[in-house]
Amino acid sequence: MDGELIVDTAGILSWMGDSNARTVYSTGGGSRCPKCGWPVGDCKCSDRSGRDEPVPARIVAKLRLEKSGRGGKTVTVVYDLPRNQPFLRELAGELKRACGTGGTVADNTVELQGDVRDRLRPFLAKKGWTIKG
């Protein structure tokens, strides 16, 4: 065969100059972000990851206690919250003040240092939220 073997940006192997070339194997090049090359679900540069969800009228706060991967330290996690960064930052500040502890926002969760579930439940119930966990 005359021509040149090439691999394009999607990982597709083809012959240059071959008019009958077809894709033989592909690893799903369409599932990657064209800007950064990361999988679309993990992409930080796409427009959809930057959008904030509207805050629903009825919020269900789920609580869990985590220890794994934290050097034995206990962390209370409030999870399955709306993906709205201004809302989450404000909520984290309110929860840290109410519990008298440190914490952070990660993805759509608020992490608080220590086991503060007993202090969180009445605070969130006063806000009119449904609490699970």
pLDDT tens track, the chain, 133 positions? 455 656 665 556 555 555 666 666 666 556 777 777 777 777 766 555 556 788 888 889 999 999 988 888 999 999 989 888 899 999 999 999 999 999 999 888 999 999 999 999 999 999 999 999 8
Numbered ranges of CATH 3.30.780.10 in the chain: 60-132
Give the pLDDT confidence score for residue 108 in this predicted structure: 85
Q: Which residues contact 44 (CB under 8 A, 6 or more apart)?
A: 36, 38
Q: Which amino acid is at 90?
A: E
Give the pLDDT confidence score for residue 27 in this predicted structure: 61
C-alpha Rg value of the chain to the nearest Å: 23
What are the C-alpha distances in Å from 73 to residues 66, 70, 98, 101?
A: 8, 6, 20, 13
Q: Find, among 115, 120, 118, 50, the residue nearest to 86 by Cα.
A: 50
Q: Which residues contact 47 (CB under 8 A, 6 or more apart)?
A: none
| Vertex 105 angle, CA 104 and 111, to 5° | 60
| CATH architecture of the domain formed by 60-132 | 2-Layer Sandwich (3.30)
Contact 43, 36 (CB under 8 A): yes
Q: 20: exposed, middle or buried (C-beta count within 10 Å: 0-12, 13-18, 19+)?
A: exposed
Q: What tokens were used for 99?
A: 């519990």
